[in-house]
Homo-oligomer: A and B are copies of this chain.
Amino acid sequence: MKEKLTIIKVGGKIVEEEATLNRLLIDFAAIEGNKLLVHGGGRSATKLAAMLGIESKMVNGRRITDAETLKVVTMVYGGLVNKNIVAGLQAKGVNAIGLTGADMDVIRSAKRPVKEVDYGFVGDVKKVNAEQLGDLIRKGLVPVMAPLTHDGNGHILNTNADTIAGETAKSLAQLFDVTLIFCFEKKGVLRDENDDDSVIPQLTRADFDRYVEEGIIQGGMIPKLENSFEALEAGVGKVIITLASAIDGKQGTQITR
């Protein structure tokens, strides 16, 4: 039987404010067994970019990453956010190690081809190095992954944190019994976006298709759920979408095949 591994993805908002970050560190430290954290940092990147006079352009919720923006996200995701989480976890007895995809070649990506939109220095994941990550995890280390990858030719690329979490979960499912938890600002997938308590407790692919058709599920939740179903189909044991203050995965929406 495979050992359990919990992969948690937290959004930018949670890790960028001291109070919510502290709460997260406590909750994450309390999770037993093997674990891995993937974080965002978009709000801090937007803020730093603005301070430097760089305009943040988003298309379909994705950041257009020109050369200057790439520097900003490399500093914010790989430096500020990542290292503060790592130091915070160390203080709680969690032997964290901060990683971008370039470190130990853990995530290789390819620059997204220019079609209708030129996303710039954005990378689509090609390969997650499950063996290296698995080695760290088995030694009791806790990877903390920034949403940055590399192309193998010396370039850092900006990669969506949900995608990093999903691809890492899929790859590590070869070695571990993976539970993937997406944390965000809502209690789960909502039946009514204006009612925080209208959480859908379980969601199958058939439910999802129906809800999308009916317009109940829309916007940024659609790629998140597509990621979730893909992960399940690739062998991830469980996928949960929940509130950041409920990262034990006991609440929220459980996605099932």
Contact = CB atoms under 8 A, between A and B. Distances in A.
Contacts of A40: none
A237 to B, nearest CB: 28
Nearest to A94: B105
A15 interface: no
A157 to B, nearest CB: 9
A91 interface: yes
A48 B74 CA distance: 13
A19 B141 CA distance: 36
B90 A152 contact: yes
B103 A86 contact: yes
Interface stretch (A57-65, A77-85, A193-201): A77-85
B80 A71 contact: yes
A87 B84 CA distance: 21
Interface in A43-97: 48, 51-52, 71, 74-80, 82-84, 86-88, 90-92, 95-97
Contacts of A82: 78-79
B87 A154 contact: yes
A155 interface: yes
25 contacts: A48-B75, A51-B52, A74-B80, A74-B84, A75-B75, A76-B79, A78-B80, A78-B83, A78-B98, A79-B80, A83-B156, A86-B102, A86-B103, A87-B155, A88-B154, A91-B152, A91-B153, A91-B154, A92-B154, A95-B104, A96-B103, A97-B99, A97-B103, A98-B102, A135-B139
Interface of A: 48, 51-52, 71, 74-80, 82-84, 86-88, 90-92, 95-100, 102-105, 135, 139, 141, 148, 150, 152-156
Given A83-B100, A84-B156, 15 more contacts: A51-B52, A75-B76, A75-B80, A78-B79, A79-B80, A86-B103, A87-B102, A88-B154, A90-B105, A92-B154, A95-B105, A96-B103, A97-B99, A104-B141, A135-B139
Nearest first, the 7 A-B pairs at minimum CB distance are A79-B79, A75-B75, A91-B154, A78-B79, A75-B79, A87-B102, A87-B150
